[in-house]
């Protein structure tokens, strides 16, 4: 964009297949060198700000976490000018402060996924690229979202290590205990390789997590879909409020220089 800022993209996850409050101005079906994204790209205005929305699991919700074409999703957003991505993720809570319906804006990732197409840098390359990924989530975008959450009175945790698991099954109690020992505060199935792919293209990326259940073994009961749906119902209004009100600030972030 001419003022040096990029378009903001939102990748909606479980519980956010469509974005209520978005004034839709158009839809685009795109193809990328890595195939088609999970859904059409929906262009619209959120609180008067231009935004592009993509449904990670398709609309209707049909693509499981391990089969999402993360490369096509990120590349499609990049190709329409998105330079700041908000990944909305349903997660399980491990940290005692991260119970159901809590909003989390994590600051780190541990990747336990396997077998996913997780890089744009493969095949017939002229040189090998290793991007820096020390801070996987964009600090300025996180700050804007945390200030918005505070100002709007939405309870949130502004820290946390996101442990990305393969799915689609949930974890065992022992797996969660191991993740806790590793330092994970929350667990989800879609945070990676999405964040790394955005970084490879020099995009800002931030995770807006909604805790939808206590992680396995962290409560006295097994995890049910009813519990998850109730937490989505309870917490998604806070997520939507943060998205709406942070749009103006996020839209002004300057485009990062390309690192490679
Ligand atoms: N584990 C992994 N992914 C999840 C969970 C969980 O408990 N809840 C929502 N996504």
pLDDT tens digits along 79-138:
999 999 999 999 999 999 999 999 999 999 999 999 999 999 998 888 888 899 999 999
**Cβ-proximal residues to 57 (8 Å cutoff; 6+ apart), any chain:** 13, 14, 17, 38, 63, 64, 65, 68
C-alpha 256 – ligand 1 centre gap (Å): 31
Q: What is the pTM of this model?
A: 0.95
- What pLDDT is recorded for position 236? 93
Distance CA 100, CA 157 (A): 12
C-alpha 184 – ligand 1 centre gap (Å): 13
C-alpha 21 – ligand 1 centre gap (Å): 26
Q: Considering the domain delimited by 8-122+129-250, tell me its CATH architecture.
A: 3-Layer(aba) Sandwich (3.40)
Rg (CA), the chain: 17
- What pLDDT is recorded for position 2? 42
Atom of ligand 1 nearest to the CA of 215: 7
Distance CA 208, CA 79 (A): 23
Distance CA 197, CA 115 (A): 15
Atom of ligand 1 nearest to the CA of 65: 3
Distance CA 133, CA 86 (A): 17
Pocket of ligand 1 (CB under 6 A): 90-92, 165, 170-171, 187-189, 212-213, 215
Three-state secondary-structure class, residue 125: coil
Determine the distance from the C-alpha atom of residue 181 to the mean position of all C-alpha atoms in its chain, rounded to a whole number: 24
Domain ranges in the chain are 8-122+129-250
Kindly report the protein residue whose alpha carbon is nearest to atom 9 of ligand 1.
91
- What pLDDT is recorded for position 34? 95
Dihedral of the CA atoms 220, 208, 60, 247 (nearest 10)? 150
Residues of the chain with pLDDT under 50: 1-2, 260
- What pLDDT is recorded for position 21? 80
């Amino acid at each position: 964009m001419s003022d040096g800022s990029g378009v903001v993209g939102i990748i909606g996850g479980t519980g956010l297949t469509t974005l209520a409050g978005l004034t839709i101005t158009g839809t685009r079906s795109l193809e990328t060198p890595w195939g088609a994204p999970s859904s059409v790209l929906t262009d619209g205005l959120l609180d008067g700000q231009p935004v592009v929305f993509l449904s990670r699991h398709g609309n209707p919700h049909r693509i499981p976490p391990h089969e999402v074409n993360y490369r096509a999703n990120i590349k499609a957003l990049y190709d329409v000018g998105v330079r700041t991505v908000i990944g909305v993720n349903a997660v399980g809570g491990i940290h005692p402060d991260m119970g159901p319906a809590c909003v989390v804006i994590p600051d780190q990732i541990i990747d336990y996924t396997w077998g996913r197409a997780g890089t744009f840098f493969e095949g017939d390359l002229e040189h090998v690229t290793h991007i820096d990924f020390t801070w996987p989530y964009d600090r300025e975008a996180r700050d804007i979202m945390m200030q918005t959450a505070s100002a709007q009175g939405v309870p949130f945790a502004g820290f946390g290590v996101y442990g990305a698991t393969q799915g689609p099954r949930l974890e065992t109690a022992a797996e969660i205990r191991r993740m806790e020992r590793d330092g994970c505060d929350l667990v989800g199935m879609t945070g990676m390789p999405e964040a790394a792919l955005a970084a490879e293209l020099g995009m800002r990326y931030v995770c807006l997590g909604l805790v939808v259940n206590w992680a396995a073994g962290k409560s006295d009961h097994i995890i049910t879909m009813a519990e998850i749906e109730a937490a989505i119902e309870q917490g998604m209004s806070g997520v939507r409020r943060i998205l709406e009100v942070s749009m103006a600030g996020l839209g002004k972030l300057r485009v990062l220089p390309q690192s490679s």
